[in-house]
Structures are given as structure tokens and as C-alpha cells.
Structure 1
Amino acid sequence: MIKTVIFDMDGVIVDTEPVHRYAYYKQFSELNIEVNEEMYTSFTGFSTRNTFQTLKSNFPTIEHEVEDLIQRKRNIFNDAFDTKEDLLLLDGVEDLIKDLYQHGIQLILASSASKVTIDRVFTRFNLHQYFSHIVSGEDFPQSKPNPAIFLHAASLSIAPKENCIIIEDSTNGVKAANAAGIFCVGYHSEHSKLQDLSTANLVIHHFKELNAEIISQLDA
């Protein structure tokens, strides 16, 4: 029986991708580099640090230190985040979170986002009350598809990882869940059209397909 649900954040709980995209491409312009769609899509699930480490290896003209690049991107993102009024939780996810919480299923967040960004999202939508633990990708040297973030999240569970599931929307996130040996629900939304969720144990297209009863009976 499933005792713990581990959520990704971007693309699962809230769609901050347009804000991230705006921030990254504004910064790419400042750095005078051209990042094509294929390369940008490959960064999905990466931490900001890993993204800029990869960019520096691909674009030798980038002379800035990774930490400086991270801070600049964060500043652009935060300014845009605070002024974007149409930033909403994804359809149905709040009802699912509340249903799981009310039925005593533990909720853990494991997101590649920084702690600052996670806190901004959770504070804006009053989500802290539902989650027992928050794990940020900035605490790990390698991003998804490396399974470290999910293995750590599972170690915080009230039950063995065999009684956990992960909800992910990205190719790298699903690969990380697979590598961690944890049951993965792939969320295929309009925002994840270019992501490969084929190795997820279960693929859904709307959160109304899930509730506490269905999840608790999943055969992980």
C-alpha cells in the first residue's frame, strides 16, 4: 500500500516553465548565445547550476562564473514571478494534494528548483501545510536523471521506498525515478508534449484520474 507521494513541482504542481523560459532566454540574449529548442528542452529537470555548467561547456565565450550566472537568472525570474498574475496551480492538483493529506498519505516535494523558488511558490499558494519535507535539487551535485534527489526524498518517507510513488512530468524526472527503483506516475500535460514518459509505470493526462483511494492501492 502506498504511504508516501513524492511530487515534482515545475510542471506538476505549478507551471512556472514560462517564467523560467523568459528568464533563461533574456539571459541568453545578455550572454550573446543562441540556445535552440532541442538544447533548451534537454535542460528540463536540471537544476539551474547544472544548466549553466552545461552551457559553459557548450559555449566557451561564457566567461562568467556559474554562481554569478545562477544569481542573475534568479533575479530575472523573481522579478517576473512577482509580477505574473496568471501563475496558477495546475488544474486538479490542489484537490489531489488536499485529498491525499486528508487521508493520511505523506507528501514530500523533490524539485530541481532552488529553495528560494520553492518557497516563493509554496508561500504564494499556501502549500507548506501539506508537505512533511521539501527537498531541493540545489543540494545535489547532479540533477535528474541522477536518482539522488529521489533516493533522499524516499529516505524521509514514513515507509520503505516500495511504499512510495513519484509524480513527474519530464523525461529526466521519469528516468531518475526509474533509476531510484520507485514507482513513477508520469503526468502528460500540454506543458510536457516534448517529454518522453514511456518508462513511467503509469501515465495520466489529468489529476482527476487520481485520488487517495486509487493511489493507496497502486502496486508499487
Structure 2
Amino acid sequence: MITTKAKAFLFDLNGTMINDMAFHNHAWHNILTKDLGASISFEAVKKEMYGKNQDLLERVFGAGHFSQEQIDQISIEKERRYQADYKQHLRLIDGLAAFLERAKGHGILMAIGSAAIPFNINFVLDNLNIRHYFGAIVSAEDVVNSKPDPETFTKGAAILGVSPADCIVFEDAPKGVEAAKNAGMKCIALTTMHTQEEFTVSDNVIAFIEDYNDPVLTDLF
């Protein structure tokens, strides 16, 4: 049973609102190995998929390996491939459409806090027609420091005018849960891409769910 009540819900996007992380994994693995010549496994890429695209490239190749122009080109090409492969599968995670409507009806403010670039966030929000639910959208381009730094979530809360203690974050990635903790926020973790055991920081997690049909979520209202 969840006893925490919140004034605001902050959602990560990929893997949290849409179940698309395997498509990101394939796109990145293809770019890194076939285009850029890295020797890295599919599973190893999965573990690196947090934070900004630039951060991922620097973790794999080292800082300074690519110019900023090259990083931007690689990033856009990766996202083009991801979108081309995923678009026919694009849909909200089960139960989320009703959950967003219920939250809106209860006057709960909502924001997106994602390490994705606007190109990908707009792809999701506009194709699924859900932009109107969110009073704040924080992307990779809106922060200096990406997750697990708390800036993504603290900035979203600030735009909504809500204190961190009054927010609940929805996340699918261990580093995202850690970012929520660093922001002083409770978190609900989705196991779309990672098992419960992979969340090494979880003392701020009030529930693990597979989708938004989980009855535990009724305690939020």
C-alpha cells in the first residue's frame, strides 16, 4: 500500500511512458559497432543507456574522441533509426492513458523529465497527442548535468512550482531512480527494461510495477 500523496507526478519518457528501450538498444548497438567500430556487446550497451547521448558516447569512447559537431550528427542519426524502427509500435504503456486522465482529474500536476533530446520527446508527445497533460517538459537540452544528477527532476518541479517532497517520479532506469533520490523525491519504478534486482539504489522506491494497471497505483489518489 502506498501512503505517499503527491501534488505532482514527474515522468521519465523512454521505458517509462512507452516501452521502447529495446529499440534504443538496437539503434545504439548498430551505430556503435557497425558505424563507429566499437567492440561492445548488446548487453553492455544496455547498461550505458542513461543520461545524454553525448555522455554515452564519452563513456564508450572517452571524452574528446568526437567533436561536438560529430556528436550532434551521431545523435540525430541514431534517433532517426530508432524512430523509423519504433514508430509502427508506438503506444503508451498499458494503463497509462487512463492513469494520466485520472491524475488530471484529481488536479495533480505533471511533467516530463527526460534525458532524450526534443526531437524524440516531440516524436512521442505529438504522435500520441498527450502534450496537453504536461505543465513542464525538461529535455537533455534543458540541463547541464544529466541523470543521476537531480537537475532534470528539480528543474521540472521548479517549473511546476512544487517542492521535491511533494513529487513522485516514475522511472524505469536505475540511474533515473538514483536521480530522483538525489532530488529528494519518492519514486515508482517500472520493470520494463530492468529487474528489481538491478536497482541498487531503491530506498526511495515506493513500488515496483510492470505497467499502469497495477492496483497499487490507486493509493496515489
TM above 0.5: yes
Provide the residue aligned with 1:175 in structure 2.
178
Structure 2: how far apart are the matches of 1:77 and 1:149? 20
Give the drift of 1:210: 5.6
The residue aligned with 2:19 is: 15
The answer on whether the counterparts of 1:27 and 1:73 sit within 8 Å (CA) in structure 2 is no
**In the aligned structure 1, how far is the partner of 2:164 from the partner of 2:154?**
8
Identify if the C-alpha distance between structure 1 residues 159 and 111 changes in structure 2 by more than 3 Å, giving closer, same or farther: same
Summarize the Cα distance change of 1:210–1:124 in structure 2 as closer, same or farther, 3 Å threshold: farther
Q: Please report how far the alpha carbon of residue 79 of structure 1 lies from its aligned counterpart in structure 2 after TM superposition.
A: 4.3
1:39-50 counterparts in 2 under 5 A?
A: 39-50=44-55
Q: In the comparison of the two structures, how many residue pairs are matched?
A: 212
Aligned pairs for 1:33-44 within 5 A? 33-44=38-49
Runs of 5+ unmatched residues, structure 2: none
2:129 counterpart of 1:126: yes
Contact preservation (8 Å) 1:13, 1:89: yes
SS of structure 2 residue aligned to 1:207: coil
- Higher mean C-alpha deviation, range 151-160 or range 118-127: 151-160
Counterpart in the other structure of 2:162: 159
> Any stretches of 5+ residues in structure 1 without a counterpart?
none
Q: Identity over the aligned pairs, expressed in percent?
A: 23
**Structure 1 residues 149 and 105: CA distance shift in structure 2, 3 A:** same
Q: Report the residue type matching 1:204 in the other structure.
A: I
Letter in 1 for 2:153: F
Residues 205, 21 of structure 1: CA spacing in aligned structure 2 closer, same or farther, 3 A cutoff? Answer: closer
**Which consecutive segments of 4 or more residues in structure 1 shift more than 6 A?**
none
8 Å CA contact 1:52–1:70 kept in 2: the answer is: no
User: 2:148: which partner in 1?
Assistant: 145
Instruction: Verify: 1:214 aligned to 2:219, yes or no.
Output: yes
Counterpart AA for 1:74: I
Taking structure 1 as the reference length, what is the TM-score of the superposition?
Answer: 0.85
Q: CA deviation at 1:53?
A: 1.9
Question: Counterparts of 1:43 and 1:66 in 2: how far apart (Å)?
Answer: 20
Is residue 98 of structure 1 aligned with residue 101 of structure 2?
Answer: yes
- Give the TM-score normalised by structure 2: 0.85
Going from structure 1 to structure 2, the CA distance change for 1:45 and 1:210 (only over 3 Å counts) comes to: farther
Deviation at 1:131, TM superposition (A): 0.6
